[in-house]
Structure 1
Amino acid sequence: MDREALARTDRVPHGGVSDRSVVDFSANTNPESPAGVTPVYDAARAAARRYPSDDYAEFRTAAGEYLDCDPQRVIPTAGALAGIRLVCALAVDPGDRVLLPEPSFGEYAREVRLQGGTPEFVPHDAVLDADPAGYALAIVCTPNNPTGELLPRCDREAFAARCRAADTPLLVDEAFLDFTDASSLAPQPGVVVARSLTKVFGLPGLRAGFLVATGEWRDALETARPAWGLSTPAAAVGAHCLGQAAFLERTRERVASERDRMADRLASRFTVRPSDAPFLLVDVSAADVSTADVSTVNGADVDAEDRVDTEDRADADVDGVDALLANARAAGYALRDARTFRTLESHVRIAVRRPAENDGVLEALDV
């Protein structure tokens, strides 16, 4: 890590709220988890009085079967983000250029900057057409966060081939690919795939994920990964969840059905991007959203201090996004302020949850 970069690198805002009195539509995690998680966790917690076995054989085997690859190509990590940091630490030196999509997950640029590198941004829908030559690393997110589109496999493979020809390693973030029936790009030479187990299995606090790589990259990542980087409970629960094929199928069906239903309703008032992910990106610029709505949400009085989004926002002149966030919050729903993503100025991101919860937030948004 480049110590000089620390002084000019900020933390990245994310979704997720700690207030349990609201329904959280700001984080893109499954509101449901597979059966059997609790006894597996409890048993692993008892075993946590000893260090975990650093070979993580059971976890690697489950991940290998899940992606139909050699388990030895699996690198256990404490969530996908820990894997992304590990890749950036190995690939990026001070002064290096890294190819990134925009808008996309803000942690990519942060991790590049922490290594002293320079992020160079390409529109998210054109990143696979970019020339990867001359970059220390290229990063692709599919489905992309926050726009939601799944990049076609043939285009992903063609870009991976161009990266190999340019001797540019490619990191593909597939954190939301589990919500689709699309196949992973792992394992391919020169490609490192990052996977998160906490989103589709509804356990973001567990911090479990893995990388998949081949050849020299696999060897480098295996050597560089922290010892005991995955806790005993995370490894046990992760291995259990990876075997829950029926749960995954039910989740995909529910998300696809509810996402389409929500998009249709939201489109009556807002501009909604097509999505293959468990969330929708909504442009509110064309809608008439007034803070006057806040005072009578669901027929209840709302205090003046609740009339704007209180999360890092002190601007008295609230715009449509502020008003929409406040209206939803007063009704008991937290949405994601998507203006924290590059190039987005009038957007919110709304997760897809259970039908009854989705009905509630749609009613709160007057659609």
Structure 2
Amino acid sequence: MAATCAVATAEEHDLRHHGDAEVADAGDGLVDLAVNVRSDTPPEWLKQRIAASLGDLAAYPDGRAARAAVARRHGLPVERVLLTAGAAEAFVLIARALDAERPVVVHPQFTEPEAALRDAGHRVERVLLRPEDGFRLDPAAVPEEADLVVVGNPTNPTSVLHPAATLAALARPGRILVVDEAFMDAVPGEREALAGRMDVPGLVVLRSLTKTWGLAGLRIGYVLAEPEVIAKLAAAQPLWPVSTPALVAAEACVAPEALEEAEAAARRIAVDRAHLLAGLAEFEEITVCGVAEGPFVLVRLPGAAEVRTRLRALGFAVRRGDTFPGLDGSWLRLAVRDRATTGRLLQALDHALALAAP
């Protein structure tokens, strides 16, 4: 198995393009398969908890209870936890506070880490995983001299779940290993998770609560790392970076009953994903590369841009793939939804492919 390593330049990929752009200004008519937030969320009990916190807005946010709750959830000392305004803020803090000299980003993956590193003045190198390898990572492809490595698990947009042992093998003395586990709670049993591990030197794990719980508008996530790293990141944060409602949500979403609900949702997603993959397998024009383990599926098909436009006209928004380094215009990412929604998508896809055929 081989991978390629390339020095990043200011090139064709729009690193600031995200799935929400596919549904912006679309009104209520589009079925959203472009954004990887679980549908029908946040649940009513969570909305009530958040709403109840509004009476406390006159006081400055106090993150101690939420931070302690996250620490308990992962079996870590509280000094290893930092609460952030979503994973996106964490990427900015890492880029600005950790003084990397040779950062490497494993692609295709969420583009915000590289964008944040570039904005902070870093020259970023890329390790490009190949579809013919199922987008699997060979640790040997990462330059030995890299002192900051960023990889997603499961990876957006490929949906590939890398073995924890493979990622741990990237750890080196003097290296920060950043593993973005924003979608790990959508994996049944969170198998291959590194969150909670204290035996991997330089490990920094990012978690988001926005995907599973439908809190993208609230902005809440956290970082798990060695206390020295947490202290550096915290020093780069502004005062009171996480709002009171977001802190309340964080504490609620790591409670045992919430974790049980998330696990049940992960199992449903696995069943719904299998249904989507079975339907996609009926189309000879469509290829799924790699084994999908996340709440989305990456597909390759001829005329993908035209198909995406036709799907939009038929009422479905899907995520274009060409903004991810390592992919081109022949890729689309589809969020996993319930069987009924998937059935309608497959019908629309059949129609769009027929219209796009020569």
TM-score w.r.t. the length of structure 2 is 0.84
Spell out the pairing of 1:179-258 with structure 2 (5 A cutoff).
179-180=186-187, 181=189, 182=191, 183-188=193-198, 189-243=201-255, 244-258=258-272
Question: Counterparts of 1:213 and 1:150 in 2: how far apart (Å)?
Answer: 21
Residues 144 and 11 (structure 1 numbering): CA distance in 2 closer, same or farther, change over 3 Å? closer
Question: Counterparts of 2:119 and 2:108 in 1: how far apart (Å)?
Answer: 19
Give unpaired runs (5+ residues) of structure 1.
286-319
Which fold has the larger relative contact order, with Cα–Cα distance below 8 Å and residues 6 or more apart in sequence?
Answer: 2
Partner SS state of residue 159, structure 1: coil
Shift of 1:147: 0.7
Identical counterparts, % of pairs: 33
Cα contact 1:132–1:168 (8 A) shared by 2: no
Q: Paired residue for 1:13?
A: 17
Residues matched between the structures, number: 320
Shift of 1:35: 3.9
Q: Paired residue for 1:329?
A: 312
Question: Counterparts of 2:143 and 2:203 in 1: how far apart (Å)?
Answer: 13
Question: Counterparts of 1:110 and 1:67 in 2: how far apart (Å)?
Answer: 29
Q: Paired residue for 1:356?
A: 340
Spell out the pairing of 1:99-248 with structure 2 (5 A cutoff).
99-124=104-129, 125-126=136-137, 128-160=139-171, 163=172, 165=173, 167-180=174-187, 181=189, 182=191, 183-188=193-198, 189-243=201-255, 244-248=258-262
Question: Counterparts of 1:116 and 1:136 in 2: how far apart (Å)?
Answer: 16
Partner SS state of residue 145, structure 1: coil
TM-score w.r.t. the length of structure 1 is 0.82
Shift of 1:11: 5.7
Q: Paired residue for 1:283?
A: 300
Task: Give the aligned residue type for 2:153.
Answer: T
Spell out the pairing of 1:337-352 with structure 2 (5 A cutoff).
337-345=320-328, 346-352=330-336
Question: Counterparts of 2:31 and 2:66 in 1: how far apart (Å)?
Answer: 32
Cα contact 2:128–2:326 (8 A) shared by 1: no
Partner SS state of residue 350, structure 1: strand
Q: Paired residue for 2:279?
A: 265
Shift of 1:231: 0.6
Give unpaired runs (5+ residues) of structure 2.
1-8, 130-135, 352-358
Cα contact 2:37–2:211 (8 A) shared by 1: yes
Q: Does residue 75 of the first structure (1) align with residue 82 of the second (2)?
A: yes
Question: Counterparts of 1:259 and 1:280 in 2: how far apart (Å)?
Answer: 8
Residues 71 and 358 (structure 1 numbering): CA distance in 2 closer, same or farther, change over 3 Å? farther
Shift of 1:170: 1.1
> RMSD in angstroms over aligned alpha carbons?
2.2
Cα contact 1:92–1:136 (8 A) shared by 2: no
